[in-house]
Amino acid sequence: MNIAFDEYGRPFIIMREQDMKERLTGPEARKANILIAVSLMNILKTSLGPKGMDKILVSPDGEITVTNDGATILDNMDITNEIEKLLVELSKGQDDEIGDGTTSVVVFAGALLEQAQKLLDKGIHPIRIADGYEHACKIAVEHLKKISSEITFDRENYETLITAAMTSVSSKVVNEFQRQLSEIAVKAVLTVADLERKDVRIDLIQVQGKTGGSLKDTQLIDGIVIDKEMSHPQMQKEVSDAKIAILSCPFEPPKPKTGYKLNIDSVEKYKKLQELEQKYFHDMVKLVKDSGANLVLCQWGFDDEANHLLYQNELPSVRWVGGVEMELIALATGGRIVPRFSELNEKKLGLAGHVKEIPLGTTNDNIIVLEKCSQKKAVCIFVRGGNKMVVDEAKRSLHDAICVTRNLIRDNKIVYGGGAPEISCSLAVSKAADEISTLEQYAIRSFADALDQIPISLAENSGLDPIETISNLKANQIKTNNPFLGVDCLGKGTENMKEQNVFDTLAGKIQQLLLATQMAKMILKIDDVILHHGQN
């Protein structure tokens, strides 16, 4: 509240809207932020690992999603708080960069903040904690590189890639078909991969889904799938040596951009208009025919008149093709997307060896498949499932498996899973803390304790005693000097993850540590939260 004076010297009071704002500062703000992050961690940590629980997400319009994918859970939650939004962005960052480990990264970030709160209560400054975390993260990343292994594979022998994909799919709802889905994902990636350059064009892998059938009916199609059918039921269903006109202009007479009014008050005028429309359609079809095209894919709809003319001229056509599919078809067939009929010519046509319409079982649905595309090797994973929920979850699982395979092609280093790398890093970080005399040693030890949260959650979700399991694993790792000992989630009788063939990509694991540490540092440095409640 301030006092000011007008031009006549009369005083008046300026209110600073104090009643509209609630303000948290310093330790209170940090504590509130950490509590939010820890509560989100507690929601997600039960979904970790092959025995993790699933969540039912209900959208505002009542649509149900059942999943244990961290990125999907966070994406569909009703997020209102800024700290929650930061953690959602953290999960998305992991999903975009690596594609897997979205749950682990949020759980680890929450664990770091939970440990940080204990240090804050002891009076240690947040900047010293952040510096300690940064130092500990470097030690952990270097240790991960030391305990990593390399795998070998090529286009003929790729069993190790399938094993890695199976590890990522094992925690999902569709794990009953994990072998089949992993094989499909690996074959798809290898088809479009350039192994010499260690590069994968993921945009050349389509993942389409259709309800009906079972998950075991999911198949890899060597080509591009369009979830449409020919625009006329009597058009030919198969085209060999297809020359494709890819159109982003509608088969309709042009409409003036501005408002207009047309009065037709006689039969002659009506006939003249009809003849004009007929001429437009004839000209359009003639331009397509003259270009040499024998198949038309159009992003927009057809007028019935145009559809009939295309059928009469033996030009099979598909309408309402999505923009993403149009771009993929143009890329794979070497064609150009044509915005005007007058620009269409033979050089802009896409080429495909075989195009056919395929009926899907007894569901009365059809799809169109473009095979043997001329330019790029494009593939489609066509997912089937009993209902939309299963199909969507299978698509998410395949996304994870595809990303894991891509990461291994880029960098073939792995670390064995089951919480083994976290336990090994925890021991290495604790050992390093003993050699540091400054205040940061407390933060470094807290980082080691936070690393234990991942194997503890895995043990809890598998029905094991978490404290006893982790204590035994740490003791065994020290005694045998074996960094591959982890939580036996599936009860296979051995703690050696190398024998169980459970592993993650090194790049993914390092990214988890780096992202979670940066997020924890960022939240620790926030000391002022201003909440606006709006005006009355």
Active site residues: 69, 102-103, 400
d(CA 331, CA 206): 13
Q: 419, 246 in Cβ contact below 8 A?
A: no
Map tokens 């540490």 to a residue: 517
Beta bridge partners of 379: 205
Contact indicator for 422, 416 with CB cutoff of 8 Å: no
DSSP notation for 298-362 = ESS-B-HHHHHHHHHTT--EE-S--HHHHHHHHHHHT--EESSGGG--GGG-EEEEEEEEEEETT
Per the CB < 8 A criterion, the answer to whether 405 and 160 are in contact is no
Q: Helix (H, G, I), strand (E, B), or coil: what is residue 355?
A: strand
Q: Which amino acid is it at 254?
A: P
Sign of CA pseudo-dihedral 460, 465, 470, 472: negative
Both structure tokens of 463: 């029905």
Taking the C-alpha atoms of residue 245 and residue 318, their distance in angstroms, rounded to an integer, is: 11
Within its chain, how far is the Cα of 410 from the centroid?
Answer: 18
State the distance between the two ends of the chain, measured CA to CA, in whole angstroms: 18
DSSP 118-167: HHHHTT--HHHHHHHHHHHHHHHHHHHHHH-EE----SS--HHHHHHHHH
CA distance 31 to 38: 10
Structure tokens at 171: 């925690």
506-524 helix and 388-410 helix, angle to the nearest 10 degrees: 100
Strands 350-360 and 365-373: antiparallel
CA distance 528 to 123: 18
